[in-house]
Amino acid sequence: MNHVTVIGAGLAGSECAWQLAQRGVAVTLREMKPEKRTPAHVTDYFAELCCSNSLRGAGLENAVGLLKEELRQLNSLIMRCADATAVPAGGALAVDREGFARMVTESVLGHPNITMIPGEVTSIPEGDVVIASGPLTSDPLADAIAAKLGGGNTLNFFDAAAPLVASESVDMDSAYFASRYDKGTPDYINCPMTREEYLAFWQALTAAEEAEVHGFEDKNVFEGCMPVEVMARRGEDTLRFGPLKPRGLIDPKTGKEPYAVVQLRRDNADGTIYNLVGFQTHLKWPEQRRVFTMIPALRNAEYLRYGVMHRNTYLPKQTLNDVLQLKARPNIRFAGQITGVEGYMESAAMGLWAGLCCALQMENRQVTAPDTQTAMGALIHYISEYDGKDYQPMNMNFGLMAPLETGRMPKAQKQKLRSEQAKQAFEHWMSYIEG
């Protein structure tokens, strides 16, 4: 019988171990609980939901809803347990937190092909390994992983990222393409502000509520990468001489430099995602939406990722191939948030994908990732192929998926079309997997 060691029994590790075991692979599951916990954990159960009991949108009109449906089709343990322990939550899928974790734990421990060994892992075992140690990977294991990366690469130990918006949601009647002093190509979307608009925005930003800094997070990140709200508090004009500097950005509508300009920089090759330049922030997410909506061109912006500044551990971009193998060490795979995804469902999805790929390759089967029209395929492509400069863990969103070859259409219509195309593409890929 083939054997794989899975490190970590969170959402990704539990899903990965289950998928391997279901396909006849012997799994040794290494989990540091109950002997040791991170500051974020409060129970000894596997797949503990530390932040919220919500698994986000349930409908197929949103990207994470599509991801859930694809996971169901792949017989996901996490989705089976989530559906079984669901609680009323409107249009979202939320679960009984303890009931969900207990069901996952009992399912994993009860599988005849899974052997669980408690205790912290400080080095990478020999043989085939899947590392699903999560965003709070312990320092000894993180050091061991970094040593395997090669090429002088190291792990990233925190997020410090600006918000991302869907390009199609930017109000181009209030914005314009330009580069500073017309140098090079006009690649930036410029969002101008009048003096009155800027002052209102500045006052709101200085007073906005920040997220709590947890004890296990590194406060030094805020010194090395100053949040935009901290910069704003240093003076009324600090932002206008920093990231909102209007110099050399003539507004074609007025023929003049605006009072202040927020620049958006393309974040992916397709131009579907843009980031707010210089807007690293530690504001709470509802506060980000409230305050940044005061920028006229972003009044109806769709946020694909809010700004984050918190302790995290994840691999550098393009470290993994599309079956989540470490390029430098193919016997080592990764799963979950450490791969470069953010969110419960995204973590579980990459756990499932790692386990599925590992099992199929042990059967000498060729594995091909789903098309980027699908949610799974889009996440895998982001991890293995992302070519942007600001690589950070990402939630599932339509901006990651292959762009639609259509003209302008209402948002609801476009989301419905995306869902239909994703369903067709995934069904086609499933026929290959099941064949």
Residue-wise pLDDT for 80-106, tens only, equals: 999 999 887 667 788 888 889 999 999
The conformational region for residue 158 under phi > 0 = left, psi -120 to 50 = alpha, else beta, is: beta
| Secondary structure of residue 96 in the 3-state scheme | coil
The third-level CATH classification (topology) of the domain covering 3-155+315-433 is FAD/NAD(P)-binding domain (3.50.50)
Section 177-191 average pLDDT: 85
Beta bridge partners of 36: none
Sign of the Cα pseudo-torsion (77, 78, 79, 84, in order): positive
Residue-wise pLDDT for 244-273, tens only, equals: 999 999 999 999 999 999 999 887 767 888
Residue-wise pLDDT for 290-312, tens only, equals: 999 999 999 999 998 888 776 67
| Secondary structure of residue 122 in the 3-state scheme | coil
**Two tokens at 180?**
């500073």
Total number of residues shown for the chain: 435
d(CA 119, CA 34): 8
- Omega prior to 316 cis, within 30 of 0: no
Calculate the average pLDDT of the chain: 88
Nearest to 176, CA basis, from 241, 247, 250: 250
Query: How far from the centroid of its chain's Cα atoms is residue 193's Cα?
Result: 31
Beta bridge partners of 30: 7, 117
Which residues does 209 contact at the CB level (< 8 Å), separation at least 6? 283, 284, 287
DSSP labels, 169-225 = GS-TTS-EEE-GGG-S---EEEEEE-HHHHHHHHHHHHHPPBPP--TTS-TTHHHHS
- CATH code for 164-310? 2.40.30
DSSP labels, 341-384 = B-SHHHHHHHHHHHHHHHHHHHTT----PPPTTSHHHHHHHHHH
Q: Is there a common fold for 3-155+315-433 and 164-310?
A: no
Amino acid identity, residue 369? A
- Other beta carbons within 10 angstroms of residue 381's beta carbon come to 19
Lowest-confidence segment of 66-75, 188-197, 383-392 by average pLDDT: 383-392
Which residues does 300 contact at the CB level (< 8 Å), separation at least 6? 169, 171
Section 409-414 average pLDDT: 79
Domain segments of the chain: what residues?
3-155+315-433, 164-310
Highest mean pLDDT (candidates 50-54, 136-140, 295-299): 295-299
Beta bridge partners of 283: 210
